Structure 1
Amino acid sequence: MKHALLLMAMVGLGACSVGPDLQTPRAALPASWGVSVPAGSTLAARLDSHWWAQLGDPQLTALVEQAAAANFDVRVAANRLEQSRLLRQVTGSQQVPGISAATGYTRERNSGVGLNDPSGQAGKAPFERWSTALDASWEVDLWGHVRRAVEAADAQVALSAAQRDGVQLSIAAETASNYIRLRGVQARLAVARKNLEIARQSSQLTQTRFDNGVTTNLDTANAAAQVASIEAVLPVLGAQQDRLINALSYLLGKPPQALSAKLIKPRSIPHPAPDVPLGLPSELAQRRPDIRQSEAELHRATAAIGVAMADFYPRISLGASLGMQAQHGADLGTWSSREWSYGPSLYLPIFQGGRLTGTLELRQRQQQQAALNYQRVVLGAWHEVDNAMHDYAAEKQHHQALQRAVAQNNIALSTARARYAEGAVDFINVLGVQRSLLATQSELVDSATEAALDRVRLYRALGGGWPVQADFPHAKSLDLAYPGR
């Protein structure tokens, strides 16, 4: 009865845990974003989990989803997550008793001048030893040493999950950005080829006028130089196109030029939907992987303080053994061959030379660092969202102004070429308008590319769209995959 009461008291004490619980610092986030959206756009209340689909390009959507499955960085991050889950399983196994079985047989002969053997024939005859036993051991977690260690392991699982989500978000954003840049380069190639055709027509016109004695070779030389300068741009843009296709191939885990046949055909630059999916500032901490990662780091550091504090207290382990031992195999299993033992053992740290105190202070400083890092990451996330939103709004205005400039330059070029054909203006006027049109058309393509890239940056700043997964289980509800091992 006394032994049972003692055991119940130990189990009751096992519900205690020393050390602080997690207290997440107050996030410095506003109640609303306080930013305006571009004309023609509206604020969406919720961020679509598949944000890349909002860019309106099925081929881009397919590439992002393929990269999420095939990219090597994503697969490495997923492997690290599985490792952390297995480590958590190993740590959690300390919460339950360990049971093992052993059996053995030996044939022995003791020294004739040493200890007597059980037969009383010291050193004169060999003897046999048969044994089998079932052993159990369990450390009573009086001060929460194991529970805090499991809590830290849970935090490590959450940290690894956030790291995996961060890699997925980065790969998705990088894939989308490279695809957008590829379509932008292809659009610039189309602009250059169209302007090359116009420049060649102008060169032919000046040559005809020169042959008729209407103009000088200065006009023909200027026209030929314009043709050559545009031709010089084409191989540079072609090389950029090849590099971007290779970059996408790498992100999808494929060899160089593996996607050339699929991507070489030009498509329009992705045009995002008008809805701007900001969501609520309070949701940012759950969406952004870096914020969840820093919170998990803080949780792990907080739990480590509890482990360090529990090391100051005594530890009690319970052990028991039930088995049989005999000199002859025929006797093994008889009632007389039985043997057993049970009892507690106590470990008490009396003098450790400052190791325990130093470890505790170190863990406390690490927790303070993790708390400061959490606040830094949250503030940085707020800045990223604000900057991304303003950049996107400004680029939309820039794009609209460039559209007007291109339209006016097209009118100016048609007028200048007609008047040059009539001899009313010099070719230098036509050349100037051609150059202005090429420049504004190229700027318009760059602006469309940058607007789409700004939208990707905004999605990334908002934390992307992978749903938060349950990678932070409570220790008591974890289902061990291999119980008893």
Structure 2
Amino acid sequence: MHERSRRARSCRHLARSTSSRRTSDSQRVTASQNDLEKARLQLARVIGLPVGQPFVVSAQLPNVPVPDMTVEEALAQAYKDRPDYLAAQERVKAAEATRAAAASERLPSVHVNADVGALGLKPSDTVRTYTLAGSLNIPIFQGGRTQGRIAQADADLQQRRAEAEDMRAEIYYDVRTAFLDLQATGEELQVATRSRELANQELMQARDRFAAGIANTIEVVQAQQSVTAAEEQYIDAMLGYDVAKAVLARSLGDAEAAVQRILGPGTP
């Protein structure tokens, strides 16, 4: 009787433990899915995709060489395609138009009116009439108000030009930084690729020596650990290189076209 009671308690404890693990696993799955969606949002923002545009993340990006362009060519493309800089330029043009309109208020204006008609009691007795009038408007008593509008328009124009110059400097910084990061991560990827190849060669040699009886299992295990470390280093380097390419694509302005050109077709 005592043994059956103990087994029953053990079964109940096992059932509770299994249920607890399932609940914990479900929570981890939910948290992982939430982290995945956040990562997708961050990726879309990094590469500059329009808000809400759907995309599919590939399991492995193709190894696409970076387009052969100089920093000057990249800057020219960014100045031509970056929507934030184009918007800043449009604001400058609008401010220039406002300033020109304010300045034109103090200039004299000429108005000419002409009229052609018919005068008479009957259609058969009508006489054609002509009227021509002209006027000259000289703004004499609006000097202060017009000058105030011009001063305000000048201030707005200077602000818009300063904003455009700041945006141009920011684009220069973004592109230059993206090129430097791409160069650094590319060199890191080359080193990691070579290290992975050497680690695999050392593992093969260790296995050959073990098979020949001139090495022990410790040497093989150490070689396997070196391969694992080299593989992790390669994955990190590849990730950094792909991120650098994505940042460069974003800095060029036309996000979708630049991403497909730099990261490969079909991405995202």
CA contact (8 A) 2:192 2:234 kept: yes
Per the TM alignment, residue 255 of structure 1 is displaced from its structure 2 partner at its CA by 8.4
**Matched letter for residue 155 of structure 2:** R
Per the TM alignment, residue 459 of structure 1 is displaced from its structure 2 partner at its CA by 4.8
Question: What CA distance in whole angstroms lies between the structure 2 residues aligned with 1:445 and 1:312?
Answer: 68
Question: What CA distance in whole angstroms lies between the structure 2 residues aligned with 1:461 and 1:382?
Answer: 9
Per the TM alignment, residue 439 of structure 1 is displaced from its structure 2 partner at its CA by 4.9
Corresponding residue to 2:184 among 361, 376, 394: 394
**Matched letter for residue 454 of structure 1:** A
1:270-349 aligned within 5 A: 270-273=63-66, 275-280=68-73, 283=76, 287-289=80-82, 290-323=84-117, 331=122, 334=124, 336=126, 341-349=131-139
Per the TM alignment, residue 307 of structure 1 is displaced from its structure 2 partner at its CA by 1.6
CA contact (8 A) 1:272 1:455 kept: no
| Counterpart in the other structure of 1:410 | 200
| Counterpart in the other structure of 1:454 | 244
Task: Provide closer, same or farther for how the CA distance between residues 323 and 357 of structure 1 changes in structure 2, counting only shifts above 3 A.
Answer: same
Per the TM alignment, residue 416 of structure 1 is displaced from its structure 2 partner at its CA by 7.8
Greater helix percent: which structure? Answer: 2
Question: What CA distance in whole angstroms lies between the structure 1 residues aligned with 2:197 and 2:234?
Answer: 11
CA contact (8 A) 2:95 2:160 kept: yes
**Matched letter for residue 287 of structure 1:** K
**Matched letter for residue 275 of structure 1:** D
Per the TM alignment, residue 285 of structure 1 is displaced from its structure 2 partner at its CA by 8.1
**Matched letter for residue 80 of structure 2:** R
- DSSP-derived class of the 2:126 partner: helix
Per the TM alignment, residue 350 of structure 1 is displaced from its structure 2 partner at its CA by 4.0
CA contact (8 A) 1:385 1:458 kept: yes
Task: Provide closer, same or farther for how the CA distance between residues 351 and 440 of structure 1 changes in structure 2, counting only shifts above 3 A.
Answer: farther
Per the TM alignment, residue 443 of structure 1 is displaced from its structure 2 partner at its CA by 3.8
Deviation string, structure 1 residues 185-231 (Cα, Å, up to 9, x no partner): xxxxxxxxxxxxxxxxxxxxxxxxxxxxxxxxxxxxxxxxxxxxxxx
- DSSP-derived class of the 2:161 partner: helix
**Matched letter for residue 108 of structure 2:** P
Question: What CA distance in whole angstroms lies between the structure 2 residues aligned with 1:282 and 1:271?
Answer: 21
Question: What CA distance in whole angstroms lies between the structure 2 residues aligned with 1:322 and 1:274?
Answer: 69
Per the TM alignment, residue 356 of structure 1 is displaced from its structure 2 partner at its CA by 1.7
CA contact (8 A) 2:102 2:150 kept: yes
Matched positions, count: 219
Per the TM alignment, residue 447 of structure 1 is displaced from its structure 2 partner at its CA by 2.5
CA contact (8 A) 1:287 1:464 kept: no
Per the TM alignment, residue 436 of structure 1 is displaced from its structure 2 partner at its CA by 5.6
- DSSP-derived class of the 1:355 partner: helix
CA contact (8 A) 1:313 1:349 kept: yes
Question: What CA distance in whole angstroms lies between the structure 1 residues aligned with 2:50 and 2:254?
Answer: 19
CA contact (8 A) 2:75 2:252 kept: no
Work out whether 1:375 is the aligned partner of 2:168. Answer: no
Q: CA RMSD in A?
A: 4.9
Question: What CA distance in whole angstroms lies between the structure 2 residues aligned with 1:446 and 1:334?
Answer: 98
Gaps of 5+ in 2: 1-27, 257-268
CA contact (8 A) 2:182 2:245 kept: yes
Gaps of 5+ in 1: 1-231, 467-485
When normalised by structure 2's length, the TM-score is 0.57
Deviation string, structure 1 residues 363-397 (Cα, Å, up to 9, x no partner): 11122223323332333333223212211110111
Question: What CA distance in whole angstroms lies between the structure 1 residues aligned with 2:50 and 2:91?
Answer: 30
| Counterpart in the other structure of 1:62 | none
Question: What CA distance in whole angstroms lies between the structure 1 residues aligned with 2:199 and 2:225?
Answer: 10
- DSSP-derived class of the 1:275 partner: coil
